[in-house]
Structure 1
């Protein structure tokens, strides 16, 4: 997940990873965050398709709005979009495209992303908090 860093122009934070249970979802990402918009990217661990073929499914990078740094393990990176991207200290870090969520203009966003098993589709349901 990535979101604008409050008080800083064009500075974003990318954080991960959430572990999703098959058919079960996960807990709220961070109850201290009060966002009107965020960006998302998801991927599976590598899995075996056949004896010599392995695959990784990815969501949120088909029509990305912005690129953010991610890493293999847990991460929390500051992404300054006005600066030339420099690799964070993590040797496994890489830039990937993230997709923008629905934006709430009047209040914070309460959004649920449903990541489909097909490795492509994501559905969004949301409500504006009052």
Structure 2
């Protein structure tokens, strides 16, 4: 009887804990508080990132509509929404898992993307 009560209480506790999880919050889309960390390096969406993303991200996955990847990276506005710490972990770090099913991008490309991200992801 005591085991049954313990099991029931344990299950109720787990169910209650699962319903009180923190809601997912969209990352902020404006970066008005961002201070460029590499102001002397001019890596922008228009002069660099757009071509890298077109070559490695939007051909098969992140092109919007019914594509395989989340998000539409074919425009600055579409990519900017994802230019967060998650972009760093998924694309830039040494253990990056994007592009999916392929090796991480070359280190020189990831370094340049990191400069873009750390400089507040400028468009121009």
TM interval, shorter chain, is under 0.3
Which structure carries more strand by proportion? Answer: 1
**Structure number with bigger Rg:** 2
What TM-score, normalized by structure 1, do the two folds share? Answer: 0.20
Which structure carries more helix by proportion? Answer: 2
